[in-house]
Amino acid sequence: MSINVLATTAQALVAPGKGLLAMDESTGTCNARFAAQGLPKTVEVRRAYRELLVTTPGLGEGISGAILFDETIRQRTGAGVSFVETLQQAGIIPGIKVDLGAHELAGFPGEQVTDGLDGLRPRLAEYAALGARFAKWRAVLTIGPDRPSRAGIAANAHALARYAALCQAAGLVPIVEPEVLLTGPHSLARCAAVTEEVLHEVFAQLRMQGVALEGMLLKPSMVLAGTDCPKQPTTAQVADATVACLLRTVPAAVPGVAFLSGGQSPEDATRHLAAMHERFAGRLPWALTFSFGRALQQPALAIWAGQAANVAAAQQALLVRVRGNQLAVEVGSVAAASA
């Protein structure tokens, strides 16, 4: 596919005032969230919940793209309309998670590498035929004593780059997601150093594999102190450390950076995103936006509780979270215009 087409899609995904809805939970993850809410772990309940999400009135006003799971991209509403078509009618670009999950990296206890490259080419062709226009692959890196190792970083960066090259060959915009996990006692400075090393390696591998930067997006974690760190940074310190790291590592040709929430509370994720825009408005070469899952969905899931009578209230809760993040990214536009 022409790089111009890929670049146009990538730009549309980071359109001003919009972000992505990550509703690509695997069956196991979705079932675990249902179990925590006391919901049945069945295909039909998962379908009903996802229908609630994709049919939310006005969702397209703040959501540019929705990342789906293999099960989800094949599902339909109760009226028989495919979820893909439902999203398209709302002005939302459908996407698809294509990795097969992280597994132990041989020879490096405590580290993981993501599987899914085998057979990826035909899977991408099928997803494109189903209506997907972009894809996502998540790599997971843990901070600890002597972790992540150089081998762990290199293995995950190489897999991300091979995935991205295959996506572009199939006409799909790759979202490249190297997640540095929040768990642990590490400091903000330690997270910044690890994240910088990871992103340097990711972009070196992307270049080696011939990936067109104009036709991809980055989905990183924010730079944060570990959950067990006794000294937690301020919102401003997180914003400064995250943007400094990105400026050192992410080429200007990349259209946008769409952050994952990474286990933060919905409110913290939004506050950190808003602070980046407030402090760096008009000074960044790429768009900064959100690609949140739980940080958008969790209030809606709790309200829904599997009851049809609660659908409207749950959808309203989703819109409240979307609008909060819209306001966070619009802060930068307003500040830049008034500068």
| Catalytic residue annotation | 177, 219
Cα separation, 204 vs 130, in Å, equals 32
Cα separation, 60 vs 137, in Å, equals 23
Could you identify the residue written with the tokens 């041989």?
106
Query: What b-and-e string marks burial along 219-258, b requiring 16 or more CB atoms within 10 Å of the CB?
Result: bbbbbbbbeebeeebeeebbbbbbbebbeebbeeebbbbb
CA angle 192, 194, 195 (to 5 degrees): 65
Could you identify the residue written with the tokens 């094949």?
74
Per the DSSP assignment, residues forming a β-bridge with 257 are 218, 288
User: In sequence order, which ranges of the chain are alpha helices (DSSP H)?
Assistant: 3-13, 27-36, 43-54, 70-73, 83-89, 120-130, 150-169, 188-208, 235-249, 266-280, 294-304, 311-338
Phi, psi of 62 (to 5 degrees): -125, -5
Phi, psi of 330 (to 5 degrees): -80, -20
183 and 263 Cβ atoms separated by less than 8 Å: yes
